[in-house]
Amino acid sequence: MAGKNWNDAAICQHYFEDNKQYYGAVTPPIVQTTLFTFDTFDEFVNASNHERENHLYCRGVNPTTEILEKKLAMLEGGEQAKVFGSGMGAISATLFTLLKAGDHILLVNNVYGPATIYSKTLEKFHVECTNVFVEEAEEIEPYVRPNTKVIYYESPSTQMMYLLDVEKIVEIARRHHALTMTDNTWSTPLYQKPLKYGVDIVVHSCTKYIGGHSDVMAGAVISRREIVDKIFEIGHQFQGAAIGPFESWLLIRGLRSLEARLEHQARTVEKVVGMLKEHPMVKQVNHPLCFSGRQKELADKYLTGYTSLLSIELDTTAYEEVKKVADACEIFQIGVSWGGFESLILPQNHGDNEEYLNQAHIPAGLIRLYLGMESAEDLIQDLNQALDKIRK
């Protein structure tokens, strides 16, 4: 199998699976154990000295999880992947491993909220953190310091879906001997491959599209072998954000339907965005389908498809009206996360977080929408009636 030129769909379905090893079963087994035993003590000692390559203890390596990690690494075009018990587990383990006292991390535009908070929390360990907001990637260079070790960005960005020139960020980082790190959860490995453009590290919240059913929490980091091995040795082993074999099996299941789910949601988002653009109470729709000019150029260059997370800016900033739209929805449910079967709505204005919205450059009338697996017609009708509640 490894010698064949598989496309992404085949990797999701079959790659690194050999059902001859498990009785002809079409799905790999869940190796539900905490540890592995050995015939001799010498074998145990050898495995202990090379835990990354051996089955010793399931906080480290598990056969079910290995299949998942190999699939994710190949989908992203990376040498190696490590899966964690949550997206933040992957992010925090990576930063914990790569940064030390005296280093600097540069966050570009809107990065996942908890990841931003974690990065700033590292300041108590004397790791400096700067969050800059730019329109063009070239604008980050003045903020890169001699001690900048990681440049961390999302493209499309959290909340605003803003795109950056990835190759330009990589160029700047290499000139200053810094690593580049990006969260590719929005695009999935099927619609964007940052490592192809020179990015050093890709992280995912596998809880979202890769899991696809809102029933498993997980995260992943994909990079060169030496970087992932270091993250395994330090951040993974010592921070304890290990994933269980059953959760890994659920993610393998999620990969089976990933392409089909994304294709369905791509058709849905095109119809829903068309309606939102015409509604009088929607000031702006933030999604690549609506981009023009430079943003459209970047979308065409880096994205091979569009997923179904977007945001809208209402023609009002009043908390009561923003809240009224969310409360009026009948199909859209109010909740965090996204990427599952259910459609979700989440205003960013909480009525008491004006300072945060200003710091994050998020308009007070912004509402994040996730379009799940329901029919586009039902979602359009639901959003229409909710938005009509505040129609002037």
Report the pLDDT value the prediction gives residue 17, as an integer from 0 to 100: 86
Report the pLDDT value the prediction gives residue 246, as an integer from 0 to 100: 97
Report the pLDDT value the prediction gives residue 301, as an integer from 0 to 100: 98
The model's pLDDT over 195-253, given as tens digits with 9 standing for 90+, comes to 999 999 999 999 999 999 999 999 999 999 999 999 999 999 999 899 999 999 999 99
Buried b (16+ CB within 10 A) or exposed e, 329-353: bebbeeeebbbbebbbbbbbbeeee
**pLDDT > 70: percent of the chain:** 99
Euclidean distance between CA atoms 98 and 105, whole angstroms:
10
Structure tokens at 232: 């395994």
Of 67, 91, 80, 210, the residue nearest 150 (C-alpha): 91
The model's pLDDT over 240-273, given as tens digits with 9 standing for 90+, comes to 899 999 999 999 999 999 999 999 999 999 999 9
Q: Which residue has the higher pLDDT, 360 or 3?
A: 360
- What confidence category does residue 4 fall into, taking pLDDT thresholds of 50, 70 and 90? low
Q: Which residue has the higher pLDDT, 318 or 23?
A: 318
Average pLDDT, the chain: 96
Structure tokens at 174: 């290499």
Euclidean distance between CA atoms 151 and 179, whole angstroms:
6
- C-alpha distances (whole Å) from 25 to each of 12, 28, 29, 42, 256 are 17, 7, 8, 33, 15
Q: What is the DSSP letter of 176?
A: T
Report the pLDDT value the prediction gives residue 15, as an integer from 0 to 100: 83
Q: Which residue has the higher pLDDT, 21 or 318?
A: 318
Report the pLDDT value the prediction gives residue 23, as an integer from 0 to 100: 87
3-state secondary structure of 116: helix
Report the pLDDT value the prediction gives residue 20, as an integer from 0 to 100: 84
The model's pLDDT over 121-160, given as tens digits with 9 standing for 90+, comes to 999 999 999 999 999 999 999 999 999 999 999 999 999 9
Task: Please enumerate in sequence order all residues whose Cβ is within 8 A of that of 30, keeping only pairs 6 or more positions apart, or say none.
Answer: 64, 245, 246, 249
Domains of the chain: 8-30+62-256 (3.40.640.10), 259-390 (3.90.1150.10)
The model's pLDDT over 30-78, given as tens digits with 9 standing for 90+, comes to 999 999 999 999 999 999 999 888 999 988 899 999 999 999 999 999 9
Of 342, 304, 70, 84, the residue nearest 188 (C-alpha): 304
Report the pLDDT value the prediction gives residue 3, as an integer from 0 to 100: 44
Q: Which amino acid is at 239?
A: Q
